Each structure stands twice: as structure tokens, then as C-alpha cells.
A and B are shown apart, each in its own frame.
Chain A
Amino acid sequence: MPANFTSAADLIRFLPEIILTIMGTLLMVLDPILNRRSSYAFGHLSIFALIVALGGSVYAYTQAGPAFGGLLVVDGFATFFRVLVIVVGILTILPSYRFLQRQDAETSEFHALLLFSVAGQCLMAASGDLIMVFIGLEISSISSYVLAGYLRDDKRANESALKYFLLGSFATAFFLYGVALIYGTTGTINLAAVRTAISGQNAPEPVIIAVAAALMFVGLGFKVSAAPFQMWAPDVYQGAPTPVTAFLSAGPKAAAFAVFLRIFMTAFDPVGGDWWPLVWGSALLSMTIGNFAALLQSNVKRMMAYSSIAHAGYVLVALTARSDVGTAAAMFYLAAYAFMNVGAFAVIGHLSGKGERYQNLDDFAGLAEKQPLTAAMLTIFMLSLIGVPLTGGFFGKFYIFKAALESHLVWLTVLGLLNSAVAAYYYLRILVMMYMHEPSDAASKVEPLSLGLRAALILPAIGTLFLGIFPGWVLDFAGKSSTLVR
């Protein structure tokens, strides 16, 4: 094996990560040269890097297969999530041009860290091995910790970064314990091999497998902010700079769910009967805690944090279904969620003004009068988050609950759907504010839309509507890829 350890095909399959890492490093080197000359150069460069990486991941898919002796697996599933996290990266950078300028914080680190984080997530999506999962997780997380505290003069951002870092490290440790247990009992860390090892004749003590699965569930549950490991999310989301919040709620979450699906649907599938009640409970708890806590929030970022906990719950419902349909539903939902959430945060960041002063619900008052386009786009995102038909959010939810019902999870479906009716209330409050109240201070002072922001609003809106009206393409691809997990 060492002879062809790095064949050309291996490198092609590793292309997106290579591109992103090189470009990220390059950005840091270019910092002293470019700084202050052209404030937008970093943004342009990183968007360029992400687009090239996007091409790279599509090209890698044409050479699909395992790389580096099974450390990486490039298949439809991996490509789906690679494309998703790269697109999230692009959609994060578009609104951050103006945002960073307004906070006087335009440096190359922001973009470099973002690229590293995306690289880590790509790695997570494509890893076929627990160690690669861990490495990807760490690359992604450590960059995210720094990004959360990127505005260093902001007290809340500091709190956010510290909390994220401490709790995140804890969670990673849990995950690593799980990996260690698996390696200790089965002697392998390759996901497919673990699957064979625990389902075969000489399967190890089921208790140890159960404990390992539970430990990994804790670690990943933290990363996707599923209850009862959701405690960090509201503070971190509220404190982090808004584009970073948008990124955290979509990119790392999608990648963590990719890993979740890979590990639990590939390695731990044979013991599925043991772990699904755990996920069932976590799904219900996440939906309920997220939605009911969001009802009480007046800070929109905090509200969206709770909403993101609830949405993690919906995806967990798909995981509870333990079927290919469920996996495809989770993939589709994460794509739809990425669009609507990143779009919504772009509006929140746009409105918040210098020093992120305007983040309250009241600040959205009258936005429709002052900036109809922004309000209309946010309306699309909110309707999609509610799950109104003709938006991606609806179709995602529909597909998830369809998968759940196919797996006879009637109660979880009913409770989940009722939950989504509760959620309608707090999303509608934003629409009420924007359309049915007199303009507030914030809405009157809102800047005209820059080109980047316009793109950052319209592209996700098109994506949301496209996934709602023509879900076929993405769904078919997800359906085909979902069987490859095993």
C-alpha cells in the first residue's frame, strides 16, 4: 500500500482541501503587501479561492473513490457536503465586505480563517476514517473559535469565543474517547471496517460499543447544537459577529451532520436498534427546547440561535428514521437550511449597523417601508424557516417527516409538526415588525444595499425558492448519494 499511497487520483480527490489550504496561507502572506491598498482584495481572493475549490470538488467527484488508503472517501455524499460548505463560505463572505468595513476590521485573518474552517469541513465531509473525522473537526472548530472572537474589542464576542472554545474542547474530548474505545475494542478506525467488526461473529462486548457510540453522540451533538448539548449556542451565536454566526449555523453544522450520518449510518448501523431511542429523545428535546425558548427572545440573533437548535432537531428526526430516505432528507434539509439561514443572517447583519447595535426585534420595525427588497428577501427566508410550501424549508420538512413516517415514527412526526406550528409564531413576529409597524431608528438609518449584500440576499432567496419549487435535482442527487454512506 505505501507504494501508491499518494497516487495522482488521491491528490485529485483531495483537491478542494489543497486549494483552500494553499489559498488560506497565501492570504496571510499577502496581508502585509495588500493591506490598506485595496480593502476588498481579501474578499475577492477568498471568493475566488472558494469558487476554484468548488470546481475542485466537482472535479474530484469525477474521480470518485477512496483516497489515501481509505482515509478519505470521495463519493456523492462527500461531494454534496463539500459543495454545500463551500457555498456557505461564499455566502458568508458576500455580506461581510460591508460588515467588516463598518466595524473597521478588515484584515486577512478573517478570510484565511474562514478558508481553513471550510477546508476542515470539506475534510469532515469526505473522511472515511475516525482519525480524519477528528482532524477535520479540529481544523474546522479551532478556526471557528477564533472567528467567533474576531471582533476583539467587543466584550460579547470575547465571551462567545471563550465559551465556544471551552465547551467545544470538552465535546471534542468526548468524541476522542469514543474513538479510542472503538480502536481499543475493534482494532480499527476505518468506518467500514468498524461496521464489519461490530456486526461479525466476534463482535466485541455490546456495552463498550454502546458507550463509544454514546460518547461520540455527545461530541457530535455538541457540534450540531442538539439538546441537551445546546447550552452554548445562544451565547455564542449572539456574541459572534453576524457573518460568523451565519457561517457557524450553516457550515460547521452541516459538516458535523455529515459526520454524524457517516458514523451512525455506516459504522454503528448494525447496532442501530440500540442508539435510535437516544436520537429520538434528543430530536424531540431539541425541537421543543429550541422552539419554546425562541418564543421568549427579543434579540433576533439569540432567537435565531434557538431556532437553529430546533432545526437541528428536525434533522435528527431524519437520522432517527435510520433509512436511506432519511439520510437523503437530512441532506436536502441541510442544504435548504443553509440557504435560508445564511440569507436571514445577512439581513440581520445588514441592519445591525456599526458596533452591531441594532439586533432587537423592534429594530426590524418598518423595514419594509424603508427597504422593500431586503424585507421581501427576509420574508422568503422566514416563510421557508416556518415551512410554508414553495420554499426549500417546506420541502425539507416534508421529506424528513415522510421518512420518519415510513419508519413508523408516528409520534415523533406529530410532535415535530406541532413544533413547527409553534415556531411559526416567532418567525412571524419578524414579519409583523417589518410590515406592520412604523419605521424604527434602525430601519431609518439602514444603509443602501451594496452589490455584495444584494448578491448575498438574492442568491440564497433564489436557492430557497428553487429548492421549494424544483426540489427534484437536489433530491435525486441526495437520494442517489444516500445509499453510498454504507
Chain B
Amino acid sequence: MNALALVLLVPLAGFLVALFIPRNAPQNSRWWALLVSLLAFIDSVVMVARFDRGSGGEQFAIDLPWITSPEIHFAISVNGVSLWLVLLSTLLTPLCVLISWRFIQNRVKEFYAFLLLLEFGLIGVFLAQDLFLFYVFWEVSLVPMYFLIGIWGHDRRIYATLKFFLYTFAGSVLMLAAIIYLYNRAGTFSYAAILELLSSGRLVFAPGEQLLLFLAFFLAFAIKVPLFPLHTWLPDAHVEAPSAGSVMLASVMLKMGTYGILHFCLPLFPTAARACAPWIAVLAIIGIIYGALVAMVQPNLKKLVAYSSVSHLGFVVLGIFSFTQIGLDGAVYQMLNHGISTGALFVIVGLLYERRHSLAITDFGGVATVAPWLSTVFLITTLASIGLPLLNNFVGEFLVLQGTAMANYTWTIFASIGVILSACYMLWMYQRVIYGEAGEEVRSHVGDLNPREWAAVIPLIVMMVWMGVYSQSFLPPVSKVNAHVLEQTRINVPFRVERFPSTRPEVARAR
């Protein structure tokens, strides 16, 4: 069977079976979820191994007719970018199962069922090649997350989950209108067919029309990213979500937005995207600096990491709207980096919360003396998040800044401030949590990592180092896709800023 179909179907089948596990056997639910998510992971590794990196284009395509009128296909395939995002989702799901093993004691069966449904929805978003199908997955992934935050979250979980759902839902209904409009114009939901119509000139949008369609899509994606000033749902959702929810939300769900921009907004509406680029870049830069400044003054660990996400995702958006090969490569790489390092941060914060039952930074201090290994892991993750060379974020941020510099040097200067600020708030937080005198509470409650927790953090640490040292394992297929995207955005517009030839040697030397 097609490896891609399995990656998608294993979590779905796992979810359906999980519904029928008796409620009074929580251990069965845990093991089942672990088994299913590991299967999905192994399967996605197989898929990555079989992926033909020479082409980087859409592969493993499946196209089944679903609904005849209007014609909707169950069309999925994977390209050099979504490949890694799928791997990221399947890697993080088993880790989320592990970190929830003890923490979730209440309604265990439902928790793991929703987690598997979430995995299904997220993977589907990255694979869908039919706009209707894409919207279906987009919305389907919303429902399990709504329950994950709302049922297993902290005190203000209901407020947070409603805000999360309504923000995203309201943003995406306009995207639905735009999708229907596209269908009425193009006569198909097939993404490839629409691109074909666009490039052959058989489908042409008037400038105003294109701008509105772009904005309808972009609004849905920008809310998800989240782009300043649409980010206000994110800190609430992150703070209130259980650790697993935070990890999936930060690491994978936010990438739905950036992936959407890259995969749909740019190729479909190139003129509008380029016209809006300066505005969006300014918002991204504001997000970078604002997110960092707000993170600096947060008394709550999770809120700090949440605002750091706003800042980091600003880099991704900035990279995309630099419209340079290097910038786009950096943006995609930064999407993956953020998934790994912020995922790890949320895992660690979750571990701290499990021990101390508090998220307030002032409740910690001196953790290093009682939990040296936990502190070491935390240190590596913190440094990765700051962007220390040899760790993953450095590569991504560097590429983004380089790409941005080729487009507009002023942007780079302002964005670089974010890099400096991230070192300030992360290190300061690390210092307050880990060093100093260990209080009574910390000494009695905070223990070091147990084997299950080791199993949850080691893969992430390995990835941080791997991605930081040898980005060549990941970047070539990404570059191929991005080159193609750039090619598509050049259809209607003369290309303005490309002074560098966008070929591999440049990127390689830059690194």
C-alpha cells in the first residue's frame, strides 16, 4: 500500500478503535495511542526514505473521486516541504503520548482518542491537494484541539478554548468563501489543475479580485500563524492547554498557517502577495520585536514560551515574504526548527509543572541542584531556541535574515533585534528557574528525568543537533519546492529583488 495513505489512515484507524476501548482501562488507551503513533512515525520514516529527493515535487499521489457534483477528489500527495512537516507531526505525537502518560489521569480514553484525531487532521492539512479537502482537514483539526484545551486544560481553559476555536473558525469561513469562488471561476477544486489554468493564462484574476481572494486566504492563515495583531488567542490557548496540547499547537498547528501561505497564497495569488509583501513584512517585524519584548516581562513560563512563538513565527513570515530562495528556505527550515525547539520547551515546561504544579517563574529556582539532567536538557533547548550556532535555530534564522537582506536591508536590521532579545528573555528565564537557591518546595518535589521522560526528550535533542550541524539532510528537497514556488510567483510580475542567482552553491556557502 502507498506509504502516504498509511501515514494518514493509521491515526484515523487508531482513533476509531480508541473510541471502543473501555473507559475503565486507561492503561490500554495509553499503550494503544503509543503503538498507533509509533506506527505512524515508522511509516512516515519509510515514506521519507522512499521520497525521491532528486525531484522534490509532489509524490506518492493518491487521487480518488469522493463527491461527483461538485467534483471533489480525495487527492493527497507530499512534496519536499510537507514531507518534513508530516514527519514533525508523527514524531511529536508519540512524544506527546509519553509526556501525558501520568499527567492525564482524567478521561484518559477520550484524551488519547482526540490526540490521534488531531494527528490525522494535521497530517491531512499538509497533504491535501484538493482545496475542498484541505478545508475539511483544516477544520477537522480544530475540533480535537478544542476539546484537548477545554477538558484537560488549566483554570481558564474554557475562555481560552472558545477564543481559540472562534478566532480560527471566523478566519477560515472567509477562506471557504474564497475557495468556493475559486471553484466557480476555475471549475475545479484540484490545486494542481488551478495552477495549471493560471500558468497557461486560461484563468486570470483582475487585480482587485486577486487581492480580495489573497486576503481571504491570508487572513485564515495569519490567524493561525499567528501574525501580529491577530495573535491574542495564542498566549491564552498555550497557557491553558495541557502540555501535549501546547506541544501540538505550537509545533505543528501553527505551521498550518505558514505552510498555507507558502503552499497556497503565493502560487495562487502572486501579484497580490507581492503587492502586500511590504505590509506583511512590517507586521512580521512588529511581531518579532513585540513578541520578544512581551516575553521578557512574563511571570509565567508557558506564556513566555508562547510569546516567544509569536516572535519566532514572525521570522518565518518575514522569510516567506522576502521572495528570495534563501529566505524561503530559511522560513521552511525555521518552521521545522520552531517545531522541534519550542516543542521541546513546552515538553520541559510541562515536566516542571508536573513536579511543582506551578508555572510561575518565581516558584522555581535552584532546579539545577535537584535535577541536573533536566536542567541540562533545558539548557540545550534554551540555547537552541536562542539560535546558538551548531543548533537548529541558528541555521533557520541565519537563512531568513540573509534572504531578507537581499530583499530589504532595513527589515533585516529590525528583525535582528529580535534575535538579540530572544537571548535576553530566554537566558534570564533560564537563570531564574534553574540557578539560585533551591527552595523547600523545589527540593521536595522536583526530581530528575525518569526513563519515560528521557524517551520523550532525547529525540528532540538529537534533532536539534542534527538539524544544526547537518542541515543538508533536510534542505535540498525544500529548496526544490521553494524554487518552484518562486517560479510560480514570477508568472505575472517582473522579479524585483533577485540579485543572487538562486542556486545551491550560494546556500551551501552561506551555511
Which residues of A line the B interface, CB within 8 A?
A: 369, 372, 383, 386, 388-390, 394, 398, 401-402, 405-406, 410, 413-414, 417-418, 420-421, 424-425, 428, 431-432, 435-436, 470-472, 475-476, 479
Contacts and interface: CB of A to CB of B under 8 A. Distances in A.
Contacts of B137: 389
22 contacts: A383-B143, A388-B140, A388-B142, A388-B143, A389-B135, A394-B139, A401-B177, A402-B183, A405-B184, A410-B181, A414-B174, A414-B177, A417-B174, A417-B177, A418-B170, A421-B166, A421-B169, A425-B162, A425-B166, A428-B162, A428-B166, A436-B150
Interface string B103-146: 00001000000000000000000000000100111011011001
A435 B150 contact: yes
Contact of A406 (B23, B173, B184): B184
B162 A435 contact: no
B180 interface: yes
Contacts of B139: 388-389, 394
Interface stretch (B64-72, B390-398, B435-443, B465-473): B64-72
Interface of B: 23, 67-70, 107, 132, 135-137, 139-140, 142-143, 146-147, 150-151, 157-158, 161-162, 165-166, 169-170, 173-174, 176-177, 180-181, 183-184
Given A401-B176, A421-B170, A432-B158, A476 B150 contact: no
Contact of A436 (B158, B180, B181): B158
Contacts of B169: 386, 421, 424
A428 B139 CA distance: 14
Contacts of A402: 70, 180, 183-184
A428 B170 contact: no
Nearest to B140: A389
A425 B136 CA distance: 20
A349 B96 CA distance: 39
Summarize A's interface: helix, strand, loop or mixed. Answer: helix
Contacts of B146: 428, 431
A370 to B, nearest CB: 12
A280 B177 CA distance: 18
B176 A398 contact: yes
Given A432-B150, A436-B158, A418 B173 contact: yes
Given A401-B176, A421-B173, A476 B184 contact: no
A476 B68 CA distance: 8
Summarize B's interface: helix, strand, loop or mixed. Answer: helix
A333 to B, nearest CB: 15
A476 B132 CA distance: 18
Contacts of A406: 184
A417 B147 contact: no
Contacts of B173: 417-418, 420-421
Given A398-B176, A471-B67, A405 B142 contact: no
B256 to A, nearest CB: 15
9 nearest A-B pairs in the assembled complex, by CB-CB distance: A421-B170, A389-B136, A417-B173, A389-B139, A436-B150, A402-B180, A421-B173, A424-B169, A472-B67
Contacts of A389: 135-137, 139-140
A84 to B, nearest CB: 20
Given A389-B140, A436-B157, 11 more contacts: A369-B107, A388-B143, A398-B132, A398-B180, A405-B184, A424-B166, A424-B169, A428-B165, A428-B166, A471-B67, A479-B69
A405 B143 contact: no
A476 B151 CA distance: 40
A412 to B, nearest CB: 11
Contacts of B162: 425, 428, 432
A432 B174 CA distance: 25
Contacts of B132: 398
Given A389-B136, A428-B165, A435 B151 contact: yes
A221 to B, nearest CB: 26
Most buried by B among A389, A418, A479: A389
B146 to A, nearest CB: 8
B372 to A, nearest CB: 38
Contacts of B135: 389
B162 to A, nearest CB: 6
Contacts of A410: 181
B176 A417 contact: yes
Contacts of B166: 421, 424-425, 428
Contact of A424 (B23, B140, B151, B165): B165
Most buried by B among A431, A471, A479: A431
Nearest to B162: A428
Nearest to A413: B177
A310 B136 CA distance: 23
A401 B70 CA distance: 13
Contacts of A432: 150, 158, 161-162
A410 B173 CA distance: 13
A432 B157 CA distance: 10
B107 to A, nearest CB: 8
Contacts of B180: 398, 401-402, 405, 413
Given A372-B23, A389-B139, A436 B165 contact: no
Nearest to A328: B69
A425 B107 CA distance: 25
A410 B70 CA distance: 19
Given A413-B177, A436-B150, A390 B140 contact: yes
A415 to B, nearest CB: 10
Most buried by B among A372, A383, A410, A428: A428
A318 to B, nearest CB: 13
Contacts of B68: 472, 476
Contacts of A390: 136, 140
A414 B139 CA distance: 18
A394 B169 CA distance: 13
A57 B496 CA distance: 67
A432 B69 CA distance: 36
A372 to B, nearest CB: 7
A135 to B, nearest CB: 35
A421 B173 CA distance: 7
B67 A475 contact: yes
Contacts of A369: 107
Contacts of A436: 150-151, 157-158, 161
Contacts of A413: 177, 180
A377 B507 CA distance: 54
Nearest to A468: B136
B10 to A, nearest CB: 18
